[in-house]
Structure 1
């Protein structure tokens, strides 16, 4: 159930293991949605974006490629540094439509896919494909970006134990 009247959780991950622990915890508990996506849609989205630097980014239309290229040339590195420094992503930023998943995927399958992707990235030492928006990045920058991206989305899922505690304290 979506609940937009409450403040979002403050989350910060410093490692892929931190992300995996939180996703496993959310999977084991009931949670309250504070946004549009449940755990399945969130994990599918995060798994997509975690796999792109390893497997290559999806093809985009020529029009979108031109727009992204202009953004990368004039703002990409600055925006990337801002995200890494602030450890925060802008709320409501556009994304590739293919990374927005229907609610028909079950939580368990999506969580498993994301956890497998996390394990793969932990040991990945191949080529890191440049981000269409941010350009090339190091492995450490990629991990930092994945931690920020995961915190950005997972903060919209409130574990019921926290939500219950919050209700009892009011």
Structure 2
């Protein structure tokens, strides 16, 4: 069973102490909040709201770690990523492309092994710093002249990249729930 201690930080974020042996199986988590973002500004607004309110994490990552992970994923759109994704994973993703871009992603699905280290959030990242980096990554993606192929989906449009990022953010942000006063 997963047990944790909660501490409220000045930013409103609760630090949850877990060990590797206490990793939450996110497929089994209940009580996640429904999240749907139409635009990046919806995501940023939600991040600011959560950082100002007491909240708790139902999964393995804090708000700062989630935001750090999301900005790392955003940079895949504009930075060359020399990773070798197995053929079968690319085919499976391309067959599920419509679903990946239109519906929230399923909890518990891990990125391909080749991307895990690159996308892993930093330990102890502060929310404010992570939010600044996320905003910079969004601006960089918006202003880029061209995009890189998605590691799984291959060449996709800028609009498809944005939809992918928003669905990805919905998944992770759904594991953070506000506490009532």
Q: TM-score range by the shorter chain?
A: 0.7 to 0.9
**Contact 1:26–1:159 (Cα < 8 Å) also in 2:** yes
1:127 aligns with 2:146: yes
Name whichever structure is richer in helix by fraction: 1
Cα displacement (A) at 1:90:
2.0
1:31 aligns with 2:55: yes
- Who is 2:135 aligned against? 115
Q: Deviations over 1:107-159 (max 9, x none)?
A: 221122112222333x3242111112111111111111111111110111112
Cα displacement (A) at 1:6:
4.7
- Who is 2:175 aligned against? 156
- CA distance in 1: counterparts of 2:48 and 2:132, whole angstroms: 9
**Contact 1:44–1:113 (Cα < 8 Å) also in 2:** yes
**Contact 1:9–1:158 (Cα < 8 Å) also in 2:** yes
Of the three residues 52, 61, 83, the one matched with 2:100 is 83
The unaligned stretches of length 5 or more in structure 2 are: 1-5, 7-15, 17-23
Determine which structure has greater relative contact order: mean sequence separation of CA pairs < 8 Å that are 6+ residues apart, divided by chain length. Answer: 1
Name whichever structure is richer in strand by fraction: 2
Question: SS of the residue aligned with 1:88?
Answer: coil
Q: Calculate the aligned-residue CA RMSD, in Å.
A: 2.1
Number of residue pairs the alignment of both structures matches: 153
